[in-house]
Structure 1
Amino acid sequence: MPKVVLITGGSSGIGKAIGEYLHQKGYTVYGTSRNPSKYIDTVPFTLLALDVTQESTIQTAVQILLDKEGRIDVLVNNAGVGITGPIEETPVEEIRNAFETNFYGPLSVIKAVLPTMRNQNGGHIINVTSIAGYMGLPYRGIYSATKGALELITEAYRMEVKQFGVQMTNVAPGDFATNIASGRYHAPVLENSPYKKAYGDTLEMMNEHVDGGSDPKIMAEKVHSIIENASPKIHYKVGAFLQKFSIVLKRILPDKVYERMLMNHYKLK
C-alpha cells in the first residue's frame, strides 16, 4: 500500500519538486496551495486549498484527505515565506506575518495530523527549515529567526512524539533556483535610509544566490531518502558545500571571527 504524503506549499518551487518526485516513486501525494485552481494543470498530484495562517483551512484540508485515504503517513511542512530588510525598518506586521507562515503555520499543521498518526502508531513529519536558520544573517534576520525557531522546536517535539511511533525531522535547504525571491517580502530600499547602500547591495547578492541556486530536485531526492530511512537523523542540510560548511564553522570559530567572516562575505563594514 503506497504511503500517503501531505506537502504544504506544493504548487511551486521545492514543494512542487518534492511532490512530483514522490508521485513518480508511487506515493499517494496531496499538495496544498492557497489557490489550487491556479495550478491544477501544472502538477500531477491532487492540490488541496490550505493557508497555513488560517486554522480552518488546515482542518478542512486534513479532513478531506482523511475522508479520501483514511490515513496520513508523511507530512512535509514546506510552505513558507521569505522576508528581507533592515530589522529596524521592517514593519512589525510583516515580521508577524513571517512568523505566522514559517513557524506558527507549520505547528498548526503538525497539530492537525498528529492525532491520526498517533492512532496509526506511526508517521513521519519533515519540517523544511533553512541553512539560514543556523545563523543570524544581515538583512535576513527575521527569516533566520523564523527558521531557527522551527529547527529548535522540532528537536523538542520529536522527543515528545517518539513514544507514539511518530518520527520528526528537519531538512534545511540552502539556495535553490525557485521563485522565493519574487514571492518574499522586501522592505523597500529607502532613499534617505542609513542602510540604503549596505541593504541594497546585500539584496542584490541574495537574489543572485537564489537565481544561481541548485535544482530543487536535489531536495526532492533527499526528502525521499529521509522518508525511506527507518531511523532518520534529526537534522539534514541540503545545499552547496560552502553553505553547509558555514554551519560547521559557526560551531568551531569564536563568535567575533565568525561575524567578521559573514560581514566580509556580504561586503559589510
Structure 2
Amino acid sequence: MNTTRPPTHDSWFAPLSIDIFLKVLNITLLHPFVAWIIPLCFRAEHQAWDTRPMVVSITWAIFVTLLWMGNVMSHKIAYGMHREVDLNEEVIVITGGTSGLGLLIAEVYGMRGATVAILDTKPLENTESRGITYYQCDVTDKAQIARVAADIERDLGTPTILINNAAVVLGKKLLDMDINEIDNSLKTNLLSHFYTIKTFLPGMINSETGGTIVTMSSVIGHLGAAQLSDYAAAKAGVTALHKSLAAELQEYPEIKTILVTPGQLSTPLFNGVHTPSRFIAPVVEPIEVAKEVIKAIDLGLSDHIGMPLYARWVDWYNVLPVGLQKITRKLSGVDRGMKTFVGRKSPETSEKNGSLI
C-alpha cells in the first residue's frame, strides 16, 4: 500500500471553507436578531418607514425570522419534545472510546460529573480520567457485551445514554480483502450497533427519564467510495438502522435518537486520506463534532448532525442524473482519496473497535 502522505496546505487561505463563510452568515445576516438591528439603525437615523432601505431591511428581517421559526417548528414536528437530562443521574456508555472522538466525548462528560463507561479492546491510556470507567470489550462478541452490561449495571447503574462510536477502516479494494477482514469490518461497523442497542435499550425504556442513542455513521454511507466498500456498506446500514429504530420508538417519546454523518475527520483512523478540495469538503476536527453531539444530548433532543455543509445536503446527490453524478464524483475526487491512506498503525493486525468514522 502506498504510505505517502498527501501534501499539506500551507497557504494563508488554506483554512478558508464554505463552512466558515456559512458560520459567519449564521451569526450575522442570517440571524433574526442581527437582521432586525438593521432597520432599527435606519430608524435611528430618522428614515421614513416607506424609504427603500427601510422596506428592504424589514422585508429581509421578516424573511430571516420566518426561516428561523420554520426551522424550529420543523425540528419539533420531526423529533418531538426534549427529555430532561441530569448529568449527575446519567450513565453513558461509549463504544470505541479510548481514543479519537469517543475519548473526547467521554472526557468532557467525565469532567462534568456524568458517569461514563468506555467499551474498547484497546486499553485506556489515562486510567485516572475523572468519571470514566474502562471495560475491555470486543463489541463484535455478543457474550462479551452481555457480560460487560451486567458489570456496568452492578458498578455504575442502568445506562441511559448509548454512543455507538466503534469503527474500523481497512482501506482496501474488495478483491484485496480476505473474508475474515470483511466479517470483522461488518461486525464492528454495523452488527455491533444491533448488539449494543438490543442490550441497553430495554433499560432505557424502563427508566423514568428515558434515554438517548447516538449513532455514529458517515457521509460515505450515502456516497460510497473506492477502497471503502465494506465501510460504506456498513455505514449505509447503520443509517438505515437509525431511521428504522427512530420510527419504532415513536411510541416511546422519552427515548431520543441522534444520527451523526460527518465527512472526513482528522483522527488517526483516516491518516493519509487525501481531501481534494478543503474549501468545499474541509476535514472536520473531532472537537467540532463532539460539541454538536454533546449539545444535542444535553438538550435532550433527537437530531441529525451532518458536518461539514456538504454532508447535510449529500442526499441531493442521488437526485442528479446518473451522468452528472459520475462527473461530480470525478471532479470531487471522492474515489481517489483513499489512494494515500495510511491509517492508524499498531502492533495488532486489526484496528478492531477503533474510533470513528
TM range (shorter): 0.7 to 0.9
In structure 1, stretches of 5+ residues that fail to align are 183-202
Aligned to 1:102: 189
In structure 1, how many angstroms separate the alpha carbons of the residues matched to 2:277 and 2:269?
12
CA pair 255-104 structure 1, distance change in 2 beyond 3 A: same
Structure with the higher fraction of residues in helix conformation:
1
Aligned to 1:124: 212
In structure 2, how many angstroms separate the alpha carbons of the residues matched to 1:99 and 1:267?
22
The DSSP-based 3-state class of the residue aligned with 1:18 is helix
CA pair 81-204 structure 1, distance change in 2 beyond 3 A: closer
In structure 1, how many angstroms separate the alpha carbons of the residues matched to 2:233 and 2:288?
25
In structure 2, how many angstroms separate the alpha carbons of the residues matched to 1:83 and 1:146?
12
Aligned to 2:259: 170
The DSSP-based 3-state class of the residue aligned with 1:63 is helix
Instruction: Please say if 1:144 is aligned against 2:232.
Output: yes
Aligned to 2:348: none
Aligned to 1:230: 300
**How many residues align structurally?**
243
In structure 1, how many angstroms separate the alpha carbons of the residues matched to 2:193 and 2:207?
21
Map 1:52-63 onto structure 2 (within 5 A).
Answer: 52-63=139-150
- Displacement of 1:251: 4.2
CA pair 219-43 structure 1, distance change in 2 beyond 3 A: farther
State the Cα deviation string for residues 73-92 of structure 1 (Å, max 9, x = none). Answer: 10000011112222233223
Aligned to 1:220: 290
TM-score for both structures, normalised by structure 1 = 0.81
Aligned to 2:111: 24
The farther-off stretch of 18-27 and 55-64 is 18-27
- Displacement of 1:58: 0.8
CA pair 95-207 structure 1, distance change in 2 beyond 3 A: farther
CA RMSD between the two structures = 2.6
The DSSP-based 3-state class of the residue aligned with 1:60 is helix
In structure 2, how many angstroms separate the alpha carbons of the residues matched to 1:83 and 1:31?
23
Instruction: Please say if 1:241 is aligned against 2:309.
Output: yes
- Displacement of 1:71: 1.7
Aligned to 1:3: 90
Greater relative contact order structure (CA < 8 Å, 6+ sep)? 2
- Displacement of 1:62: 1.4
The farther-off stretch of 124-133 and 86-95 is 86-95
In structure 1, how many angstroms separate the alpha carbons of the residues matched to 2:239 and 2:153?
28
In structure 2, how many angstroms separate the alpha carbons of the residues matched to 1:28 and 1:41?
15
State the Cα deviation string for residues 15-59 of structure 1 (Å, max 9, x = none). Answer: 1111112223332211122143x5243744211111111112211
In structure 2, stretches of 5+ residues that fail to align are 1-87, 337-357
In structure 1, how many angstroms separate the alpha carbons of the residues matched to 2:184 and 2:276?
21
In structure 2, how many angstroms separate the alpha carbons of the residues matched to 1:223 and 1:119?
24
Question: Identical aligned pairs, as a percentage?
Answer: 23
State the Cα deviation string for residues 173-221 of structure 1 (Å, max 9, x = none). Answer: 2212211136xxxxxxxxxxxxxxxxxxxx7526998xx8332111211
Which structure has the bigger radius of gyration? 2
Instruction: Please say if 1:41 is aligned against 2:127.
Output: yes
In structure 2, how many angstroms separate the alpha carbons of the residues matched to 1:226 and 1:135?
25
TM-score for both structures, normalised by structure 2 = 0.62
Aligned to 2:270: 181
* Letter of the structure 1 residue corresponding to residue 153 of structure 2: L
